[in-house]
Amino acid sequence: MTTELPPQISRYRELVDDWPAFVEALRRPLPTDLRWNPFAVTREHFEEMLARQGLAWTRLPASPDLYRVEGLPCPGLTWAYHLGWYHPQGFTSTLPPLILSPQPGSNVLDLCAAPGGKTSQLAAMMMGHGVLVANDINYNRISILAANLERLGVPNALICRYRGQNFPERFPFDHVLVDAPCTGEGTFRLEGGRYREDDADARLFMSRIQLGILRKALRVVRPGGHVLYSTCTYAPEEDEAVVAAAVEEADAEVEIVELPVDMPGQPGLDAWEGRTFPGGLSRTRRFWPHHTDSWGFYCALLRRTG
């Protein structure tokens, strides 16, 4: 079995703890993960529905509302989907809201909210109480965001349209999620994905957008509040380098919060291609497909201390 991958993925070979396992994970189809929606149905009735449909399922302990289901080829074509009983959402995609961990009554901003999976998960964690602002810039994506929030019965979300970099600073938030636009390398699986040609300019272009959005997040979060930065790419230029620059340039003191060591994946990088990052980037987390059987993801939790 060949382990050859496109250059933009092979460049990470030295970063991955088990390259053959990583490649093998990319050769497997993604599992079907469904996030139960408490706004629409009780957990008991949801599990009864899965059983009646003859579907085998397991719950993922690291994401307590997520069910890994076998035998459901088209999760968006069922009556339960259209009634909002669940939302198809890969395991690693559920981690940013779980790490951010908003409580009921919080004021929360999702700066890059469409298509709404993480937004609706945040609302469920808040039990529908508090203010949840869902922002995006793209009209087409906002229509999908609105449709998903309506289907899932989210009661406490307000949708707005700003460039993330230009979001108004009139109101401080307890928590801000920045699930940033990125080159999307982590969403590729060899059975169903396709890479563009390797393009360092694209990584640089995206990193500038990401840095602008993360800077804004650190300005609109209240002192003591948290910002969760995530991407679905492996590129350090879009991950650790963006976090390092945002922390260095922030108007206020910012702490990189260490993520639980028992989470799957590997610590973030302290250096890349001759560049050394400031201390604390190893507290962030890289989630590789062979650790999670899901998308590749990166997460960093920041706390504004001043």
Cα–Cα distance between 83 and 153 in angstroms, integer? 9
286: which strand partners?
A: 266, 298
Closest by Cα among 185, 69, 177, 82 to 132: 177
* CA 114 from centroid of its chain's CA atoms: 11
Overall residue count recorded for the chain in this entry: 306
Pairing, β 271-272 against β 107-110: unpaired
Cα–Cα distance between 83 and 90 in angstroms, integer? 20
Residues 113, 158 contacting (CB under 8 angstroms): no
Tokens of 204: 């640089």
Give the contacts of 94 (CB within 8 A, at least 6 positions apart). Answer: 33, 35, 63, 65, 66, 118, 121
The answer to whether residue 112 is catalytic is no
Listed in sequence order, the DSSP H helices in 128-271 are: 139-151, 200-220, 240-249
Q: Which of 112, 182, 232, 299 is catalytic?
A: 232
CB atoms within 10 A of CB 115: 18
Cα–Cα distance between 78 and 45 in angstroms, integer? 16
287: which strand partners?
A: 297
Which residues have a catalytic role annotated? 232
